[in-house]
Structure 1
Amino acid sequence: MASRSPGLRPALAPLAVMALLAASMAGAAWWWLERPLPLAATHAELSIEPGTAPRQVAQAWVDAGVQTSPELLYAWFRASGQARRIRAGSYEIAAGTTPRRLLEKMVQGDETLERVRVIEGWTLRQLRAALAAAPYLRPATADLSEAQLMEALGAAGQAAEGRFFPDTYVYSRGVSDLTVLRRAHAAMQRRLAEAWAQRAEATPLKSPDQALILASIVEKETGAPDDRGRVAGVFSNRLRIGMPLQTDPTVIYGLGAAFDGNLRRRDLLTDGPYNTYTRAGLPPTPIALPGMASLLAAVKPEATRALYFVARGDGSSAFSETLAEHNRAVNQYQRARH
């Protein structure tokens, strides 16, 4: 029986070893990709700026508390073929996140998002205070005057009050408050245009800006949603005949920080641009942020002959066509409570 040549064994051994090593490495790689990444805390957060290189992203995750090798993370990003598809944004991972899932989140743009709610009837001051308190929102406009703010939004010369649509805005962590304000401003421009396109033929309003001003007054004067159309109808009737609007919210807005919660008779008698008791017509700017319902009420008011209304005390209003009827309603709903 012929003997096996001793020279063959050394020639085959390196190939076998390489195959075993490759299989071992593949198995180790698969094991690592499916194992949860150890974290320094319960969560790890990272904000990736546009243009950040994949190697920098890997290192940033380690700096953020992912306890693994940045070289290993970067090698996985490259080996996956998706390293250049990582999206900028704000991300958060919790215990149990694997390297495979981490990359999926960044490629899919599965960001951690925050929300800020802007309420109907807020003033610009209240809106800016809410943005200042919103989590993970960078305060880029904190030191800007109202005029500078509108210039930054590309609306130089436009009054800032009332120009932002009340809604819930979702944003990525780390973006600036200007980003949210830009979206809210654009939303109001769209909604105002939508409302103005539906205006009644007989409206006394001459422009979308006037509609926005009246809508802001309706927003502040209305406690019951069903009253919006009729409240707008009363104000439209007054504008049509040149009768002063005589609405307390405009006077309160004009007083600004001087208003202590108690509107006095002298306040109603002191003339100023927002005093609709001493001046006929609309005030120079909106006085609050109106919602869509108030915008539509302003341009399509309810047909009514009423010229007066008074709060009943339950959020709704009593409407009157004559001053005598109105005085009786005031006696019934207002003076009886004092």
Structure 2
Amino acid sequence: MKRGVLVLLAAACIAVAGVGAWFASGWYGGAAVDKDTAFIVPSGATLTSVAGELEDQGLIGSAQAFLLRAKILGSGDPVKAGEFLLPAGSSPATILDTLQHGEVIRRMVTVPEGMPSIMVHERLMAEPLLTGEVPVPAEGTILPDSYDFERGEARTAVLGRMQRAMSDFLAAEWPKRDAGIPVKTVNEALSLAAIVEKETGVPGERRMVAGLYSNRLKVGMRLQADPTIIYPITKGKPLGRRIRRSEIDAVNGYNTYSMDGLPRGPITNPGRESILAVLHPADTKALYMVADGSGGHAFAASLSAHNDNVVKWRAIRRQRGEID
């Protein structure tokens, strides 16, 4: 009789162990995730609603079994909102851990240096994973950079980060500006930095271009920057043709050929280096510049030296067949 009891106890232990092994294998064994899969946890979602969605998407076999095993074998931490990557072959245990402690998938939207606000608006509106409407931001309020975002995030939230980045950068750098620079306010600095951004694509020239325009402001010369002619016409988009005489003569708040001083505001969103160039311009006597044929500019302190540089530039263009 004692022997029979021992047999029964052994059988019961084996049965319990078998059930335990089955229960654990259903948690730690591979789930139905047959390929890397993005899964979204909405804001305010509960583990119960997430389990139902996992079942609906075929990523687990049973929501009820998942919840039971999660209660006994899983962490009690809440699931996080966001989009998560579930790797192929993930177990239910891995799925829960990912949704509780994993990194949210973040995507990037990039604003290049010198992108005008109307094009920033178009880029944000064209991003299908963002939501909601967003206005065209004020020119010069966005710091060019790459910004991460989550699927389903509001466009206004992303724009807010872009604008805070510019505000924070200016708050840090404006107090460090050189003494004696001609810009007296942050808006003036942005307005000049936007011109510098548009006038040269050579990073090493930025401080020199800023020095040249700073000199013009100090002596009362008109800036005569072509991009300020274009801005009222296209809001900063490429003109796609040569500037007309009537546009050079046009009187408005931006055209620095027909007005003294700086335009009424920035003509684009300048990058960090162009802003820093205005705050710390090169120590130069240059007042004139013209293209030098290599992508940069030749600078001159006198009109006669500038005219010599213009002759050289025209010779280069003639050699290229651009003019007769």
Q: Is TM (by shorter chain) over 0.5?
A: yes
Shifted more, 211-220 versus 124-133: the winner is 124-133
- CA 1:181 to 1:236, structure 2 compared with 1: closer, same or farther past 3 Å? same
Q: Equivalents in 1 of 2:58, 2:249: separation in Å?
A: 64
Q: Retained in 2: the 8 A contact 1:46–1:60? A: no
| CA apart distance, 1:16 | 5.9
For residues 269-280 of structure 1, what are the structure 2 equivalents within 5 Å? Answer: 269-280=249-260
Question: Compared with structure 1, are the counterparts of its residues 334 and 77 closer, same or farther at alpha carbon in structure 2 (3 Å cutoff)?
Answer: farther
Q: How does 1:22-41 map to 2 (within 5 A)?
A: 22-39=16-33
Q: Which whole-Å deviations, capped at 9, do the CAs of 1:110-162 have from their partners, x for residues lacking one?
A: 22221122100111122122223335222x12xx443xxx6xxxxxxxxx112
2:142/2:165 contact within 8 Å kept? yes
Aligned: 1:125 with 2:147: no
Deviations 1:189-215 (A, max 9, x none): 111222212211111111112111111
Partner of residue 157, structure 1: none
In structure 2, the partner of 1:98 is 91
Amino acid at match of 1:106: L
Whole-Å Cα distance in 1 between the matches of residues 128 and 89 of structure 2? 25
**Mind listing any 5+ residue stretches in structure 1 that lack a counterpart?**
151-159
Q: Shift of the alpha carbon at 1:274?
A: 1.1
TM-score normalised over the length of structure 1: 0.85
Q: Please say if residues 37 and 97 of structure 1, whose CA atoms lie closer than 8 Å, have aligned partners that are also in contact.
A: yes
1:274 is paired with a residue whose SS is coil
Matched, 1:176 2:154: yes
For each residue in 1:256-283, what CA deviation from the matched residue of structure 2 results, as whole angstroms up to 9, or x when unmatched? Answer: 1793432122211111111000011111
Aligned in 2, Cα 1:290/1:268: closer, same or farther, shift over 3 Å?
same
- The CA deviation at 1:17 is 6.1
> Whole-Å Cα distance in 2 between the matches of residues 117 and 65 of structure 1?
35
Residues 1:209 and 2:202 aligned together: no
Retained in 2: the 8 A contact 1:165–1:187?
A: yes
Deviation at 1:22, TM superposition (A): 3.1
1:263 to 243, 261, 265: 243
Matches within 5 A, 1:215-234: 215-234=193-212
The number of equivalent residue pairs is 316
Identify if the C-alpha distance between structure 1 residues 325 and 113 changes in structure 2 by more than 3 Å, giving closer, same or farther. same
| 8 A contact 1:306–1:319 mirrored in 2 | yes
SS in 2 for 1:182: helix
Q: What amino acid is aligned across from residue 139 of structure 2 in structure 1? A: E
For residues 152-192 of structure 1, what are the alpha-carbon distances to aligned partners after superposition, in whole Å with 9 as ceiling and x for unaligned? xxxxxxxx112111111122222122222111111111112
Q: Find out whether 1:305 has 2:294 as its counterpart.
A: no
Q: Check 1:274–1:80 CA distance in 2 against 1; reply closer, same or farther (3 A cut).
A: farther
Q: Which amino acid aligns with 1:31?
A: S
1:6-45 correspondence to structure 2 within 5 Å: 9=5, 13=8, 19-39=13-33, 42-45=35-38
> Matched residues in 1 for 2:311 and 2:185: separation?
37
**Is the partner of 2:77 in helix, strand or coil?**
helix
Alpha-carbon distance in 1 for matches of 2:256, 2:269: 19
1:335 CA displacement: 6.4
| 8 Å CA contact 2:74, 2:96 repeated in 1 | no
Asked if the contact 1:89–1:109 (Cα under 8 Å) also holds between the matched residues in 2, the reply is no
Change (3 A) 1:65 1:182: farther
Contact 1:274/1:283 (<8 A) preserved: yes
| 1:110 lines up with 2:88 in the alignment | no
- Contact 1:44/1:66, CA 8 A, preserved across alignment: no
Query: 1:290 — aligned with what?
Result: 270
Distance 2:2 2:304 in 1: 124
- The 3 A distance-change label for structure 1 pair 25 and 5 is closer
* 1:153 aligned residue: none
Measured at CA, do residues 111 and 212 of structure 1 come closer, stay the same or move farther in structure 2, by a change above 3 Å? same
Structure 2: 5+ residue stretches without partners: 318-322
Contact 1:58 1:73 in 2 (8 A): yes
Q: Taking structure 2 as the reference length, what is the TM-score of the superposition?
A: 0.89
- Secondary structure of 1:84's aligned partner: coil
Q: Distance in 2 between matches of 1:162 and 1:219?
A: 11
2:175 aligns with: 197
> Do the aligned residues in 2 keep the contact of 1:199 with 1:299 (CA within 8 Å)?
yes
Q: Post-superposition shift, 1:236? A: 0.7
218-227 or 109-118, which deviates more: 109-118
Identity of matched residues, % = 33
